[in-house]
Amino acid sequence: MVVTTSQSSSSPVSYRRVLTAIRDQIISGEYAPGARLPTRQAMGEQFSTTIVTVQRALARLRDQGFVIPRGRAGTFVVDHPPHMNNYGVVFWHSPSELPAAWTRYDAAFDQQASRLPLLRPGTTVEKYYLVKSGLDSDGMRRLLTDINQQRLAGLIFVNPPYELEETDILQAPNLPRVCLARESVLNVAAVNMHWSGMISRGLDYLRDVGCQRVAVMTSSQGVLTDRINLVRDLSERAAIRGLEIKPSWILPFPHAEPQTARYVAQLLMDNEPHRRPDGILVADDHIVEQLTLGLRDAGVMVPQQVQVVGHCNYPSLPEAAVPIKRLGFDAEAVLRKCLEVLDAQRDDKPVQPLTVISPVFDHELSQRTTVESHAAASV
């Protein structure tokens, strides 16, 4: 691609046009990863500008991660240019916010996002916090800048990007995107951690270990406005499995006040054994620690008198004061799937609008990790 300009060599427009042209050549593959660029003099002639302007453009491309100077050997495209290897992970909230906003879910994916370069050598990760429409946050500014500079191989939205429809974050062309959500959002492909499947597997486990009466504790987010349907759904699931779930045993708790679960657990156990739950499914990891403290305070034996299945997002495990069975989603596996979706988009391969991730028990995850470790060792 040959770009010429009649602008003055000191003109910022001329420098930006040179920068854009070289970057476009890298992104198009005309200059492949590791390729040596023409000399500054040759590019000055190509763009009808001065060596100083070319040098300024190359310096900016170096800062943006596209090229690397190697002294007299010349300037080269980096081996892992950002448009192919730099992934953005986008959060609504920030670790600096209160726990009610920055949830255990956010923390799990924040932790695992930092590990992506270890899972895929050559990959880099940028994390953007407080990305919301109308919010002039550092995360929003950095994200828009990186999109403008075409420094991203794809975006992973840890929260559904409902509010970003009119922004370049969703409108910029040729940028693969995927979100963690129950369904595709604004034409962004979704990876869904199957909460309904987690409920079913938790109830199956409690039935299989001999429980008959089950309480379900969950987050109050979205529940208080749809409690009737929640009670109906859980009652039907229980009936199919021969379990009893009383409406008064379906208990939502706000993230900001998980300690209430401690006192509710004591109340649940303050009854004759045949009139209280002998199984508890905790469907939100914010509640697990306080619920188990309440069971300990109540003096019940776990798992002899009551079995507990507790939700988690591996590897971020909530503390538990009594033995529990953990059931949840592997954040590493979820992010791996997100990368597969982004890579397929970039390669123009068919992508399903929704990919479902199934929950796993702790023993299943341990077995899978052992198998993968053995497989890696044999390579």
- Residues 51 and 90 reside in one and the same domain: no
Q: How far is CA 375 from CA 254, 369, 370, 379, in A?
A: 43, 10, 9, 7
In 3D, which of 206, 229, 363 has the Cα closest to residue 283?
206
Q: What is the CATH number of the domain that holds 114?
A: 3.40.50.2300
Flag whether pLDDT at 260 surpasses 80.
yes
User: What is the C-alpha to C-alpha distance for residues 48 and 42, in angstroms, rounded to an integer?
Assistant: 10
- Rg (Cα) of the chain, in Å, rounded? 26
pLDDT of residue 70: 95
Q: Which of 116, 99, 113, 105 is nearest to 159 (CA)?
A: 105
Is 351 found in the same domain as 300? no
61-99 pLDDT, tens digit each: 999 999 999 999 999 999 999 999 999 999 999 999 877
- Per the CB < 8 A criterion, the answer to whether 320 and 286 are in contact is no
| Enclosing H/E stretch for 196 | helix 195-208
For the cut 50, the answer to whether the pLDDT of residue 207 exceeds it is yes
Instruction: Report the distance separating Cα 93 and Cα 131, nearest Å.
Output: 7
- Which pLDDT belongs to residue 9? 41
The residue among 48, 79, 110 that closes a domain is 79
Which of 40, 64, 79 delimits the end of a domain?
A: 79
What percent of the chain has a predicted confidence (pLDDT) above 70? 92
Structure tokens at 71: 């002294």
Q: Looking at the domain assignment, is residue 129 inside a domain?
A: yes
Amino acid at 158: V
Report pTM: 0.90
Please say if the pLDDT value at position 119 is more than 50.
Answer: yes
In terms of domains, do 110 and 178 share one?
A: yes
75, 68 contact by CB (below 8 A): yes
Task: Report if residue 167 sits inside a domain.
Answer: yes
The answer to whether position 297 is within a domain reads yes
Angle at CA of residue 348, ends 345 and 349, nearest 5°: 80
Residue 7 domain flag: no
Q: How would residue 219 be classed by pLDDT, with cut points 50, 70 and 90?
A: confident
Instruction: Provide the token pair at 129.
Output: 């916090």
Residues 205 and 307 in one domain: yes
Per the structure, the count of domains in the chain is 3
Which pLDDT value is given to residue 101? Answer: 87
Look at residue 216 and give its three-state secondary structure. strand
Q: Given pLDDT bands bounded at 50, 70 and 90, which one contains residue 308?
A: very high
Domain membership flag for residue 6: no
Same structural domain, 30 and 149: no
Q: Would you say residue 365 lies in a domain?
A: yes
Domain that holds residue 66: 12-79
Q: Are residues 38 and 90 in the same domain?
A: no
CB contact at 8 A, 169 and 133: no
H or E element in which residue 56 lies: helix 51-63
Mean pLDDT over residues 200-229, rounded?
88
Q: Can you give the pLDDT at residue 3? A: 45
Same domain (yes/no): 260, 224: yes
Please indicate, yes or no, if residue 295 is contained in any of the structural domains.
yes
Confidence band (pLDDT; 50, 70, 90) for 369?
low
**pLDDT at residue 10 in the model:** 47
Residue 290 has pLDDT above 70, yes or no: yes
**Residue 254's pLDDT is what?**
86
In the prediction, which pLDDT does 2 show?
44
Answer yes or no: is 4 within a domain. no
Q: Among all chains, which residue has been given the structure tokens 């397929």?
A: 344
Residues 207 and 324 reside in one and the same domain: yes
Check which CATH number belongs to the domain holding 45 and give it. Answer: 1.10.10.10
| pLDDT for 134 | 87
Is residue 307 located within the same domain as residue 255?
Answer: yes
For residues 108 and 178, membership in a common domain is answered with yes
Residue range 125-136: mean pLDDT, rounded? 94
Length of the chain in residues, anyone? 379
53 C-beta neighbours (distance < 10 Å), count: 26
- pLDDT attached to residue 354: 97
Residue 113 pLDDT exceeds 70: yes
Domain identity same for 189 and 200: no
CB 194 within 8 A of CB 295: no
Q: Please give the sequence-ordered ranges of beta strands (E in DSSP) within the chain, or none if there are none.
A: 67-69, 75-77, 86-90, 124-128, 154-157, 177-180, 189-193, 214-219, 250-253, 279-282, 307-314, 325-330, 354-357, 360-361
- Where does the pLDDT of residue 41 fall: very low under 50, low under 70, confident under 90, or very high at 90 and above? very high
The structure tokens 């040759």 sit at: 42
Q: Which residues contact 67 (CB under 8 A, 6 or more apart)?
A: 22, 26, 37, 58, 61, 75, 76, 77, 78
Choose one of 79, 95, 110: the last residue of a domain: 79
pLDDT interval class at 222 (50, 70, 90): low
Query: Residue 68 corresponds to which amino acid?
Result: I
Sign of the alpha-carbon dihedral angle for 274, 278, 283, 286: positive
Q: Which residue bears the tokens 């000191």?
A: 10
Q: Which residue has the higher pLDDT, 251 or 8?
A: 251
Rounded Cα gap, residues 8 and 4, in angstroms: 12
Q: What are phi and psi of 100, to 5 degrees?
A: -65, -25
Together in a domain, 242 and 346: no
Summarised one tens digit per residue, pLDDT across range 262-272 is: 999 999 999 99
